[in-house]
């Protein structure tokens, strides 16, 4: 292990890398854009929906995303603010893309959960939250859209605690909502931040802070609101959880903030508190033990996402890497553990969604994209360390929907195979072959049915291949842990199908859940698992 220099250590200390998760339409993209405005990364906020001429959100770049107004791939955005270098991983909001979100969370050190104040915890938030708790990462809650009618504040907090099983600690407290929204009360400073509707798209509105005991407060909030605020704060102080940084860091207590991303109210306060409550990049688990970025001088990173055709003109593939330790320099040679050889990391870039800028240096905690000639897979480790190691793999989610896929024009077989393989390597779909046959029969498995639409769209638009999908009745898939089992002698059930994945590993598909237990009972020593490894 080579020694880390003070310069590299200081650079890593400045890094904050977090993911933003939410149910669709909770305001995640708007919040992301306001962060970028504060960092000076963009001058004007885009609009996810609206007129055809309106700008699309900076973080939504894929054509299908612009057409539907939803995020289907994770974007990586970097900006500087108040001496920090911040990497935001924006995740798809739709539950059909939760696998992409999970991989993205593997690259984040904390998560920001955006909740719509009028709706509380929604189905997708629940699913994504479970993914966060699997990683035990700190979760910060931003309750958005306070400028519209909202649920009762205690109800919102109870909802988070009951639905997600995490304690909450409000850092500030809202005064009214909708037309009666007056601002938030900061519990630590005992000051009221007054809400004024700002011009949309501007960086900053007027933020007026007034002490709760200042006589001027009576001009700014009504007597009824003041009485209600004092009663609610007294209740919260008596019954609510106290702020505890250790519990926040363990992912057991979520600090809660209130505001309105659209009007820019409460966003900067949230960002400032967030930066104080989060840490610089943390150690990562490897087969050599934890790799601590504050001690390990050698460069190391893992691939958590691959995206083909981000630039139609170049038909290229970008491998997104989370740097875990050391300093990255453009054109450096690193050892690719899974490939078993040295590779040069060329054309390194940092992202602003589909906009790219070439970089010469990056540090532990940063997310970079490098050109992928087709050699990288999700979960791969790259390092310059002499004492080599591999980071723990990223689990593969079990698909829940399956379809047989065929190209309409048999003359386009080559493009079809290339396209479907590239999209599978990105992790957007999983492809399987019939056991004991070639690539003639291809079965596609997805976590959510919307991924079938994306597959169809992308094959047509990026590879000029039209396909037909024939839905299959299978709902359950199991990887075979002990691969020495002879698949030819395996005794299954009538609704079972034997397949293999891209790496030739054997898998079993089932229509009914009870068939899984029956198959295990009939084959002594057979071990099945729901998760594959990348």
Give bridge partners of residue 406 from the DSSP assignment: 468
Q: Is 29 annotated as a binding residue?
A: yes
Which residue ranges of the chain lie beneath pLDDT 70? 41-75, 92-99, 124, 127, 197-206, 309-315, 350-356, 437-440, 531-534
Q: Is 473 annotated as a binding residue?
A: no
Q: Give me the pLDDT at residue 73, please.
A: 44
Q: Is 244 annotated as a binding residue?
A: no
Q: Is 34 annotated as a binding residue?
A: no
Q: Is 56 annotated as a binding residue?
A: no
Rounded CA separation 299/296 (Å): 8
Angle at 212 between CA 180 and CA 204, to 5 degrees: 60
Q: Give me the pLDDT at residue 74, please.
A: 43
Rounded CA separation 101/94 (Å): 10
CA torsion angle for 26, 27, 31, 33 (degrees, to 10)? 150
The structure's pTM equals: 0.79
Q: Give me the pLDDT at residue 43, please.
A: 52
Q: Give me the pLDDT at residue 22, please.
A: 83
Pick the CATH number of 109-277 from 3.10.620.30, 3.40.50.300, 3.40.50.720, 1.10.1370.40: 3.40.50.300
Dmax over CA atoms of the chain, in Å, equals: 84
Q: Is 293 annotated as a binding residue?
A: no
Domain limits of the chain? 109-277, 399-527
Q: Give me the pLDDT at residue 504, please.
A: 80
Q: Give me the pLDDT at residue 508, please.
A: 94
Question: Over the stretch 243-259, which tens digit does the pLDDT of each residue have?
Answer: 999 999 999 999 999 99
Question: Over the stretch 471-528, which tens digit does the pLDDT of each residue have?
Answer: 999 999 998 888 778 888 899 899 999 998 877 888 999 999 999 999 999 998 899 9
Q: Is 196 annotated as a binding residue?
A: no
Q: Give me the pLDDT at residue 351, please.
A: 57
Q: Is 453 annotated as a binding residue?
A: no
Q: Give me the pLDDT at residue 333, please.
A: 96
Q: Give me the pLDDT at residue 50, please.
A: 32
Q: Is 292 annotated as a binding residue?
A: no
Cβ contacts of residue 37 below 8 Å, gap of 6+?
43, 45, 203, 264
How many Cβ atoms sit within 10 Å of the Cβ of residue 231?
A: 10
Q: Is 281 annotated as a binding residue?
A: no
Q: Is 486 annotated as a binding residue?
A: no
- CATH 3.30.70.3280 is held by the domain 399-527: yes
């Amino acid at each position: 292990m080579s020694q880390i220099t003070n310069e590299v250590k200081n650079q890593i200390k400045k890094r904050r890398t977090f993911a933003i998760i939410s149910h669709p339409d909770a305001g995640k993209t708007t919040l992301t854009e306001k962060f970028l405005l504060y960092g000076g990364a963009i001058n004007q906020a885009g609009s996810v929906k609206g007129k055809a001429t309106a700008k699309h959100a900076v973080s939504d770049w894929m054509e299908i995303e612009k057409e539907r107004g939803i995020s289907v791939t994770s974007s990586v955005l970097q900006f500087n603010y108040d001496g920090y270098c911040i990497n935001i991983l924006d995740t798809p909001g739709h539950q059909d893309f939760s696998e992409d979100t999970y991989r993205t969370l593997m690259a984040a050190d904390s998560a920001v959960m955006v909740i719509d104040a009028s709706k509380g915890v929604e189905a997708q938030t629940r699913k994504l939250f479970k993914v966060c708790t699997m990683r035990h990462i700190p979760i910060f809650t931003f309750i958005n859209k306070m400028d519209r009618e909202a649920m009762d504040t205690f109800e919102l907090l109870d909802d988070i605690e009951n639905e997600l099983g995490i304690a909450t600690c409000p850092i500030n407290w809202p005064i009214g909502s909708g037309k009666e929204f007056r601002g938030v009360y900061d519990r630590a400073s005992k000051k009221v931040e007054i809400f004024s509707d700002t011009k949309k798209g501007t960086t900053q509105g007027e933020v007026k802070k007034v002490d709760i005991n200042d006589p001027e407060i009576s001009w700014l909030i009504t007597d009824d609101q003041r009485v209600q605020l004092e009663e609610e704060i007294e209740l919260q102080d008596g019954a609510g959880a106290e702020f505890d940084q250790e519990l926040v860091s363990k992912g057991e207590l979520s600090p809660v903030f209130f505001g309105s991303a659209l009007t820019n109210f409460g966003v900067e306060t949230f960002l400032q508190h967030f930066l104080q409550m989060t840490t610089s990049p943390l150690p990562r688990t490897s087969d050599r033990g934890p790799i601590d970025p504050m001690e390990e001088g050698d460069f190391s990173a893992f691939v958590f996402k691959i995206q083909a055709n981000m630039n139609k003109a170049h038909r290229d593939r970008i491998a997104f890497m989370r740097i875990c330790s050391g300093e990255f320099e453009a054109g450096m040679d690193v050892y690719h553990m899974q490939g078993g050889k040295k590779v040069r990391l060329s054309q390194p870039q940092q992202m602003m969604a589909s906009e790219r800028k070439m970089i010469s240096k990056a540090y532990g905690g940063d997310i970079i994209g490098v050109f992928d000639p087709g050699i990288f897979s999700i979960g791969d480790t790259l390092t310059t360390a002499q004492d080599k190691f591999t980071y723990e793999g990223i689990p593969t989610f079990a698909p829940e929907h399956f379809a047989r896929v065929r190209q309409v024009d048999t003359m386009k077989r080559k493009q079809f195979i290339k396209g479907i393989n590239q999209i599978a390597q990105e992790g957007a779909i999983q492809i399987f072959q019939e056991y004991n046959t070639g690539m003639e029969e291809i079965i596609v498995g997805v976590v959510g049915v919307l991924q079938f639409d994306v597959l169809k769209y992308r094959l047509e638009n990026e590879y000029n291949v039209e396909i037909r999908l024939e839905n299959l009745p299978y709902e359950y898939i199991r990887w075979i842990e002990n691969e020495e089992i002879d698949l030819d002698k395996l005794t299954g059930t009538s609704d079972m199908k034997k397949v293999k994945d891209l790496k030739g590993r054997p898998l079993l598909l089932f229509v009914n859940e009870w068939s899984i237990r029956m198959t295990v009972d009939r084959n002594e020593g057979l071990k099945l698992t729901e998760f594959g490894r990348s």
